[in-house]
Amino acid sequence: MARIRLVAMDMDGTLLNSEKEVSPATRQAIEEAKARGVQVTFATGRMFSAVVYYARQLGIDIPMINYNGALIKDLNRKTWCSCPLDVDAATKVLAVAARHDVYAKAYVRDVLYCDRGWEKSKAFARRFRVAAELVDDVVRIPAKVGPPSMIVIIEEPKVLARVESSLREELGEAIGITRSRADSLEIIHPQASKGRALLWLARQMGIAPEEILAIGDSHNDLDLLKVAGVAVAMGNAEQVVKDRADFITADCDRDGVAVALRKYVLDDHLDAG
């Protein structure tokens, strides 16, 4: 096995425990990995401003992958790569959501826009230290404000299945659809993904795919794990993610990231996996 030079981690359900915290053991393992010269970054569906707190806490000093790969940005707020939705496609996505009468939120320039579910959005914004705005009609936001990095639709799974069917029928390859939870659809540019973003970032850093360790737990982590030299699924991961992994670590409440780092980075097992 090649020496690991870059670690890319999902956040919710992976790096963060169920209390949305980084455990002391995980923090220590990341610090030790960085002390050995290993680069560490996030690959998350979260908006950029929702990762800043954790990036500062862990000293993440390289670009981070946000919005499921639609944005790569560093703590100095330099944008390295951006791949937002097309304005027309985004408008159609939001119109489909409105027709199905479901909650949709559009992320434009790191602001969350919605026209319903304001208490839920306000609570989210307060908890994760992000900007949110209630508008009269979210369908008009792409044309009025700009192309969204991502649109998220939240509803119970049976309804979401109908929404997804409509989206695929009406927009086809004009959008990409992924999930981080059973009750949400995350719509991004068709060329955006965590895996593509990770390979792009690795190329900028002169790091080969076989020198990457990726860790995740959800459907939106599948292509992240696919492109990495070592793919690790959390113990709490969806079965389809576990099936893709080289190693299944402990769950997010039992320091799964720390366990993986010790196995593949800190214990110097060149034959690990």
263, containing H or E segment: none
Q: Would you give the DSSP letter of residue 138? A: G
Contacts of 170 (CB under 8 A, 6+ apart): 92, 96
Mean pLDDT of 53-80: 97
- Whether the predicted pLDDT of 124 surpasses 90: no
Sheet holding 71-73, edge to edge: 64-66, 71-73, 79-82
Assign 59 to helix, strand or coil: coil
pLDDT band at 211 (very low <50, low <70, confident <90, very high): very high
With a pLDDT cut of 70, the percent of the chain lying above it is: 98
Assign 220 to helix, strand or coil: helix
What is the per-residue pLDDT for 218? 96
What is the per-residue pLDDT for 268? 64
Q: Please tell me the distance from the alpha carbon of residue 80 to that of residue 203, in angstroms, as a whole number.
A: 12
pLDDT digits (tens, 9 = 90+) for 183-204: 999 999 999 999 999 999 999 9
Query: Terminus-to-terminus CA distance in the chain, angstroms?
Result: 8
Active site residues: 10
With a pLDDT cut of 90, the percent of the chain lying above it is: 91
What is the per-residue pLDDT for 272? 40
3-state SS string for 153-217? EECCHHHHHHHHHHHHHHHHHHCEEECCCCCEEEEECCCCCHHHHHHHHHHHCCCCHHHEEEEEC
pTM of the model: 0.94
- Whether the predicted pLDDT of 8 surpasses 80: yes
